[in-house]
A and B are shown apart, each in its own frame.
Chain A
Amino acid sequence: MSFLHIAIIAPFLFALIIPFFYKKISSVHTGWFVLVLPTVLFVYLLTFIPTIADGEVVTHLLSWVPSLGINFNIHLDGLALLFALLITGIGVLVVLYSVFYLDKDKESLHNFYFYLMMFMGAMLGVVLSGNLMVLYVFWELTSLSSALLIGYWYERKKSRYGALKSMLITVSGGFAMLAGFSLLYVMTGTFTITEIIAQVDVVTSSSLFIPTMLLVLFGAFTKSAQFPFHIWLPDAMEAPTPVSAYLHSATMVKAGIYLVARLSPVFSGSSEWFWLVSGFGLFTLLWGSFNAVRQTDLKSILAYSTISQLGMIMSMLGVGSAAAFYGYKAGFTAATVAAVFHLINHSTFKGSLFMVAGIVDHETGTRDIRKLGGLMTFMPITFTISIIGAFSMAGVYPFNGFLSKEMFLESMLHATDITSFNMQSLGVLFPVIAWVASVFTFVYSMILVFKTFRGNYQPEELEKKPHEAPVGMLIPPIILASLVVLFGFFPNILSHTIIEPAVKAIYPVSLTGVEHFDIHIKAWHGFNFPPLYMTISIIAVGVLMYLTLTKWQKIYAFLRLHKKDPINYFYDGIVNRIAPIAKKITKVPETGLLRDYLAYMYVFFIVLVGYTLFHFGGFAIDTNNVAEIPIYAWVLVAIIALSAILVPFITNRVIAIIATSFVGFLVALLFVMFRAPDLALTQLLVETVTTALFLLCFYHLPELRKEKTKPVFKWTNLFISIGVGALVTTMALSSLALGNKKPFESIADYFLKNSHDLGGGDNVVNVILVDFRGMDTMFEILVLGIAGLGIVSLIKLKMNGKEDL
């Protein structure tokens, strides 16, 4: 147990006392108390920067379930530190923002902060775990807390829909990931990430390599909202805005990115990984940016923008994975550097933009851009922040998004340099898609700012008179926006402290001997630099498209994209139809009729036992050792069989009883024949009492009717019953034959020898019943007693307070 373990567990423990703050100190907004913890954690994590920048990895071991290889190990390297700093840092800002965003009197804050702290702890656990199983546990906790936060306003139908959707999608991905992790364990015998990376040869040569990769990627793609699993993210916007800013832009949706980056050393170098990661990433980038333009809700624009940007980071990780194929030579690693850098940038500008959207919503009462407009004069600070955020997102100089966008374009251009994976022919698509998606990114970024803050002011559409937000609400986005500018002008303050260790973690440096990545991010590369011209053309085309927006926006209606994302039709179809279909399928076998269920049982009995008997050659008839049949036995057996067969055909109830009893009395005769006097006696007595009982009951029961069943059922029943009888006979004969083939000494001799001396009786059957095996008899008496009590209570039972029936 180290301080880092405590850092992960602390939010969970802290969550437990939040309701106490809320109930006992209700005069102060609970958020102020909560603010302490992320701040402490952030400062604590900052102290690791020098250690990690020196290339060290902080590990702490803690046994949890050592017998299963599941240990709560901490593995803090550059990648983990980057994420941990994002989680805690943005966590501080989000908590501060939420203090002003959520009303202390109207909202159930204890729920909100409980879930938020739970999420923070879970997310820290995901990024700091060195063990895949522990990572999975925390991964599911993030899914759970995210669903709880999306459904925070649970009285709204849309919130519940969004929460359910995100839960279903991310948890199904989580399960797939669990299967992938289990396969990794099967291959390597360990859940520890570093040990798996050390056995990368075992994994890549295994036949399970592709399934494992697919399962792990399924988990990562669902979490990081990659196409076609992105549909939960726009619906997750029903969450309070601080949650959207925190979970659904900066942290949780990057868990999939983290997983891909973390397991890159295991999987990268194969063409499948390259194509899946970069292919899905690029398509998500294009799809997200294309769909963001048609949105009219500020948060929906931001949601699709997040999807798009996550796709962009994913594609860069995919292209970067080619480096593994070339032995981690410099030049191919640039894409990964760009991915890490853009990951940081995206968290800063997207966080600030969400907070801006929240402010606009908070101060005007709507997020619909068709109602908004002309807010610039009312909210100058918010406007400035959103300008910075949106221009950074669009990739305009001098903000940090410009730098990472250029690095992205450059790495996509260099993707054509990759000479493997069919990239000579298909590689040209990469920069084309990147360019098109960047144009759309530029357009929606402009929509976001200018439709909200410029244009016509429509006071009649707004619920409130807009004014600038309170200072506390502005501080967090101001800090994020300043970071956008700061990283824009001085990108290299991060390169050695944060980015380089993170890139090192993605590339297994220890394997290749490369000690140092020379990361130097600069804004100006000279005129002989193709991405510069791409950026210029993006801005030029983007401006043109923004100005002609109304003219070409009809394309969405033409493509039938104007209502909802088409993938939603699949999701809604599955979710809405699965219950009726399951009901229909269940209705087929579950008829509610006893005889149907009996028929299933008999059919299964016949099929299973019959198959086993004949498949393993168990059937045999052995006529040796068989007693002779006296002539009267023939007669007796024939009479029993005949009277039994008659029973179903009798329609007179008394005759049916008599026929059944007749069988019973004749069975007693058989017992006499087989030298079983006690049996014969009991059988006679029991049969007499049973017959009397039947007659008593039948007096109160209706006449037997002729069975009115369809011939189909009749024949099926006949077939089944003959099958059962034949099978029982076959089994009996086979077991007799088996008994002759492999005879075992019966224990009867023991009873016969010792009955007199040990049991003190000559009637061996009775001695067995009360002496050798007295326990059977005791419980048999108990059975009779219980049956008697049951009968009494059934007869005496009064139903519905009425008189006895």
Chain B
Amino acid sequence: MEILIAVLIGVLFSVATYLLLTKSLLRVVLGTVLLSHGAHLLILTMGGLGLGSAPLLGEEASKYSDPLPQALILTAIVISFGMTALLLVLTYRTYKAHQTDDLDQLRGRLDE
């Protein structure tokens, strides 16, 4: 299972990287979203996917899945959400200010 997820993480990272390297600002933002999915899954997988019960003590199971990576990912999800939201508004603002979302055109002047 872990190997399969590791490959999936690799795919997510690849796609995210490819999107980050494109010209369109929107694709770059989509890339960051996919990158954070990959990172969250990576944290979860590294904790081991020994399928126990959910970490709810009321379940009275003999084996629970690891709660710490889940807590870490929860924090990470919220933070990446904040970042994505800010980035989106920044993209909107950039487009309004410069009338382009092409990263090749969004650059300093050559004589700077």
Contact = CB atoms under 8 A, between A and B. Distances in A.
Interface of A: 592-595, 598-599, 602, 621, 623, 625-629, 633-634, 637, 640-641, 644-645, 647-648, 653, 656-657, 660, 663-664, 667, 670-671, 674-679, 682-683, 686, 689-690, 693-694, 697-698, 700-702, 704-705, 707-709, 717-718, 720-722, 724-726, 728-729, 732-733, 735-736, 739, 746-748, 751-752, 755-756, 762-765, 768-769, 773, 776-777, 780, 783-784, 786-788, 790-791, 794-795, 797, 799, 805
B34 A598 contact: no
Interface in B70-95: 70-71, 73-75, 77-79, 81-86, 88-93, 95
B8 to A, nearest CB: 5
B78 A660 contact: no
A756 B57 contact: yes
Q: Which has the most chain B C-beta neighbours within 10 Å: A720, A735, A748?
A: A748
A722 B14 contact: yes
A663 B11 CA distance: 12
Contacts of A733: 2-3, 6
Contact of A783 (B21, B24, B55, B79): B79
Contact of B44 (A676, A783, A790): A676
A677 B108 CA distance: 46
Contacts of B54: 675-677
B57 A705 contact: no
A729 to B, nearest CB: 3
Contacts of B16: 721
Contact of A697 (B3, B22, B50, B89): B89
A628 B1 contact: yes
B51 A675 contact: yes
B84 A784 contact: no
B78 A784 contact: yes
Given A720-B17, A763-B56, A690 B81 contact: yes
B40 A667 contact: yes
A690 B85 contact: yes
A704 B24 contact: yes
Interface in B1-50: 1-24, 26-27, 30, 33-34, 37-38, 40-42, 44-50
Contact of A732 (B6, B15, B30): B6
Contact of B11 (A645, A746, A776): A645
B74 to A, nearest CB: 6
Contacts of B81: 686, 689-690, 784
A641 B4 CA distance: 11
B92 to A, nearest CB: 5
Contacts of A788: 82
A718 B58 CA distance: 48
Given A701-B95, A725-B10, A748-B68, 5 more contacts: A593-B107, A709-B23, A724-B17, A732-B2, A747-B68
A721 B14 contact: yes
A733 B4 CA distance: 10
Nearest to A661: B33
Contacts of B47: 746
Given A628-B1, A697-B91, A764 B64 contact: yes
Given A664-B37, A733-B6, A765-B71, A647 B30 contact: yes
A707 B103 CA distance: 12
A595 B14 contact: no
A704 B96 contact: no
Nearest to B107: A592
Interface residues of B, number: 84
Q: Which applies to chain A's interface (DSSP): helix, strand, loop or mixed? A: helix
Nearest to A776: B75
B30 A660 contact: yes
B71 A769 contact: yes
A794 B85 CA distance: 12
B74 A627 contact: no
Given A599-B21, A700-B95, A765-B70, A641 B11 contact: yes
Given A764-B55, A768-B67, A791 B74 contact: no
B25 to A, nearest CB: 8
Nearest to A664: B37
Q: What are the 5 closest A-B residue pairs judged by CB atoms, nearest first?
A: A725-B14, A729-B10, A787-B82, A721-B17, A762-B57
A764 B65 CA distance: 10
11 contacts: A683-B77, A686-B78, A700-B92, A739-B48, A748-B66, A748-B68, A765-B55, A769-B74, A773-B71, A780-B75, A786-B82
Contacts of A595: 20-23, 103
A747 B68 CA distance: 8
B52 A675 contact: yes
Contacts of A735: 46
B17 A751 contact: no
Contact of A634 (B2, B4, B79, B86): B4
A718 B9 CA distance: 17
A629 B78 contact: no
Contacts of B50: 625, 627
Nearest to B64: A752
B1 A732 contact: no
Contacts of B23: 595, 707-709
A769 B107 CA distance: 42
B32 to A, nearest CB: 10
A783 B85 CA distance: 12
A764 B45 CA distance: 19
A718 B95 CA distance: 27
Nearest to B80: A686
Given A663-B34, A728-B9, A717 B73 contact: no
A787 B90 CA distance: 11
Contacts of B79: 780, 783-784
B3 A621 contact: yes
Contacts of A748: 64, 66-68
B17 to A, nearest CB: 4
Contacts of A593: 103-104, 107
B84 to A, nearest CB: 6
Nearest to A767: B67
B33 A805 contact: no
B107 to A, nearest CB: 4
Nearest to A599: B21
A648 B27 contact: yes
Contacts of B55: 675, 751-752, 763-765
Given A722-B14, A776-B75, A791-B86, A707 B22 contact: yes
Contacts of B93: 794-795, 797, 805
Contact of A660 (B10, B34, B70): B34
Q: Which has the most chain A C-beta neighbours within 10 Å: B16, B21, B82?
A: B21
Nearest to B112: A592
A732 B67 CA distance: 20
Given A674-B65, A686-B81, A784-B78, A725 B17 contact: yes
A729 B89 contact: no
Nearest to A709: B23
Contact of A704 (B27, B34, B74): B27
Contacts of B103: 593-595
Contact of A627 (B2, B57, B89): B2
B106 to A, nearest CB: 8
Contacts of A780: 75, 78-79
A599 B20 CA distance: 9
A769 B73 CA distance: 11
Contacts of A656: 26-27, 30
B34 A762 contact: no
Given A707-B24, A728-B42, A693 B85 contact: yes
A794 B89 contact: yes
B67 A633 contact: no
Given A721-B15, A783-B82, A644 B34 contact: yes
Q: Which has the most chain B C-beta neighbours within 10 Å: A598, A637, A675?
A: A675
A747 B69 CA distance: 11
Contacts of A641: 7-8, 11-12
A749 B53 CA distance: 14
